[in-house]
């Protein structure tokens, strides 16, 4: 709930997280475009295995960013109002 309130009150945080997601996508496309075949035997330069590891790390960061958005959309459990209402 604190993260949802923070994003509602601070649009800079929302813009920064969206820009981070865009940066992840552009970087993943760049890594994918520059890596060689995974089966190549030449380990000098941007090899396929190091590119694959980079893509895995970027994928994990992307999943964490999506999880953050999923948590922000969740409204329950909401805190009880204080002081409690009398019935």
Average pLDDT over residues 66-75: 71
Q: Is residue 56 scored above 80 in pLDDT?
A: yes
- 2-9 and 11-34 are packed helices; what angle lies between their axes, rounded to 10 degrees? 100
**75 backbone dihedrals φ, ψ, rounded to 5°:** -105, -15
pLDDT of res. 4: 64
pTM of the predicted structure, to 2 decimals? 0.68
Average pLDDT over residues 43-53: 80
Indicate the pLDDT class of residue 30, thresholds 50, 70 and 90: very high
Lowest mean pLDDT among 3-7, 43-47, 57-61: 3-7
Q: How far apart are CA 34 and CA 50, in angstroms?
A: 11
Supply the DSSP symbol for 85. P
- Alpha-carbon distance values, 30 to 24, 37, 53, 55 (Å): 10, 15, 14, 10
């Amino acid at each position: 709930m604190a993260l949802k309130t923070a994003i509602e009150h601070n649009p800079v945080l929302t813009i920064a997280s969206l820009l981070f997601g865009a940066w992840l996508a552009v970087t993943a496309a760049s890594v994918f475009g520059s890596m060689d075949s995974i089966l190549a035997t030449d380990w000098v330069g941007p090899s396929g295995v190091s590119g694959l590891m980079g893509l895995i790390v970027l994928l994990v960061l992307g999943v964490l960013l999506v999880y953050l958005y999923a948590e922000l959309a969740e409204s329950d459990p909401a805190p009880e109002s204080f002081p409690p209402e009398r019935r």
